């Protein structure tokens, strides 16, 4: 592969698939600094052309419109950057502030997985101290993905920050069969964490999109195969939360994964006092719309360009 072709492939992964520089580096066995260098060179050489579509409304206007349209408790909108990694950092910073605002002594915080939640945790250092906090892992571990983004590590970090009691799920997010699921979830320690789901009063979840491909991390890291992808697309799904897929109305879709997935379900999320969706990127607009329309989440933290796209749907 010549350098031009490599730059094109890196640009596609970064700008179209929103893959992090570290992930791209691992794929091509180069450092993330080399990835950044290639992206810069691709821009200088005209391989990448960046067009900035100015957001027509202020963040506060977008927040009010989202709250009104979906009748939710709170929407927060961060700045959209040309650099998607920067956009995620912007969202993560606001998510950290919101979490601190929502948290009180004795709360039980549930944590899922994702790169934007990872950025939120990076902004939580120095959070004020609370008493008797518990942190619960809301979905099985995704062992193939980079450890920093896994629910096991995110939950552990959150518990450390809040000096909290921790409940973890040392099982895969998706298993091979319903029989395997039943065996694993019958384990005493796993069952103890699953039973905590009903006590969670603050849940922090990422949102996965179906397009350009279903739930990027799940498909990329081998948790779902080509047959699963076909069933997901045919089901009419637009997004997923914790590998539970739903359509534009927020209704859960039958994908064949339902009886193989270990984690908090959509119906359980709807009962949580603060179900916080943390996600950005315009390719996730339909997924965010469905999560809000169906009442799966009642707080959304996203970026301005994505918020405008969500508001344009329906």
User: Tens of pLDDT along 79-102?
Assistant: 999 888 899 999 999 999 999 999
Give the model's pLDDT for residue 147. 67
State residue 142's pLDDT score.
62
Instruction: List, for residues 35-56, the tens digit of each pLDDT value.
Output: 989 888 888 888 887 755 556 6
For the chain, what's the residue count?
314
Q: Mean pLDDT over all residues of the chain?
A: 90
pLDDT over 60 at 302, yes or no? yes
Greater pLDDT, 186 or 149: 186
Q: What pLDDT, on a 0 to 100 scale, did the predictor assign at position 220?
A: 63
For 116-128, the pLDDT digits (tens) are: 999 999 999 778 8
- pLDDT at 192 (0 to 100): 96
Neighbours of 11 (CB within 10 A): 17
Residue 306 reports pLDDT greater than 70: yes
21, 26, 30, 31: CA torsion to nearest 10:
50
Question: What is the three-class DSSP state of 217?
Answer: helix
Mean local confidence (pLDDT), 139-155:
77
What's the pLDDT score for residue 221? 63
Its pTM stands at 0.82
- pLDDT score recorded for residue 213: 64
Q: How far apart are CA 162 and CA 138, in angstroms?
A: 17
Q: Domains in the chain, please, with CATH?
A: 3-44 (1.10.10), 59-312 (3.40.50.1360)
Predicted pLDDT of residue 227? 87
Each residue of 25-36: pLDDT tens digit? 888 888 888 898
Structure tokens at 167: 């409940």
CA atoms within 13 A on the CB side of 29: 0
What pLDDT score does 215 carry?
Answer: 57
Element (H, E) at 208: strand 208-209
User: β-pairing, 239-241 with 244-246?
Assistant: antiparallel
Most confident of 10-19, 67-76, 119-128, 145-154: 67-76
Report the percentage of the chain scoring pLDDT > 70. 92
Distance of CA 28 to the CA centre of its chain: 24
Q: Among 265, 264, 180, 174, which residue's Cα sits nearest to residue 214?
A: 174
More confident: 4 or 158: 158
Whole-number pLDDT of residue 186: 93
Of 265, 289, 260, nearest to 277 by C-alpha is 289
Residues 207, 279 contacting (CB under 8 angstroms): yes
Give the residue-averaged pLDDT of 267-283.
Answer: 96
Question: Which range, of 4-8, 69-73, 146-150, 263-267, averages the lowest pLDDT?
Answer: 146-150
> Which DSSP state fits 13?
I
Strand partners, 203: 110, 275
φ/ψ (deg, to 5) at 123: -100, 5
The token pair at 306 is 């994505």
Whether residue 307 contacts residue 62, with contact meaning beta carbons closer than 8 Å, is answered with yes
* 243-259 residue pLDDT tens: 999 999 999 999 988 88
Beta strands 208-209 and 108-111, pairing class = unpaired
Looking at residue 137, its pLDDT comes to 97
């Amino acid at each position: 592969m010549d350098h031009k072709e490599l730059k094109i492939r890196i640009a596609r992964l970064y700008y179209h698939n929103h893959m992090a520089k570290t992930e791209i580096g691992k794929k091509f066995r180069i450092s993330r600094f080399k990835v950044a260098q290639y992206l810069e060179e691709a821009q200088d050489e005209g391989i990448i052309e960046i067009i900035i579509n100015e957001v027509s409304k202020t963040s506060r206007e977008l927040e009010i419109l989202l709250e009104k349209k979906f009748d939710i408790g709170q929407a927060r909108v961060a700045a959209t950057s040309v650099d998607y990694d920067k956009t995620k950092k912007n969202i993560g910073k606001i998510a950290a502030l919101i979490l601190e605002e929502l948290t009180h002594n004795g709360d039980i915080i549930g944590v899922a997985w994702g790169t934007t939640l990872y950025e939120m945790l990076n902004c939580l250092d120095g959070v004020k101290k609370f008493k008797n906090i518990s942190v619960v892992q809301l979905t099985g571990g995704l062992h193939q993905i980079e450890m920093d983004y896994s629910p096991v590590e995110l939950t552990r970090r959150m518990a450390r920050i809040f000096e909290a009691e921790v409940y973890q799920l040392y099982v895969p997010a998706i298993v091979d069969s319903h029989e395997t699921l039943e065996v694993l979830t019958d384990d005493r320690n796993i069952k103890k964490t699953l039973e905590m789901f009903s006590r969670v009063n603050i849940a922090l979840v990422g949102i996965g999109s179906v397009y350009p491909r279903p739930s990027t991390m799940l498909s990329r890291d081998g948790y779902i195969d080509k047959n699963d992808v076909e069933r997901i697309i045919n089901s009419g799904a637009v997004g997923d939360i914790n590998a539970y897929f739903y359509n534009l109305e927020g209704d859960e879709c039958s994908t064949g994964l339902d009886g193989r997935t270990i984690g908090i379900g959509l119906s359980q999320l709807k009962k949580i006092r603060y179900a916080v969706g943390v996600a950005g990127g315009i390719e996730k607009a339909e997924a965010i719309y469905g999560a809000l329309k169906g009442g799966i989440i009642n707080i959304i933290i996203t970026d301005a360009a994505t918020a405008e796209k969500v508001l344009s749907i329906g």
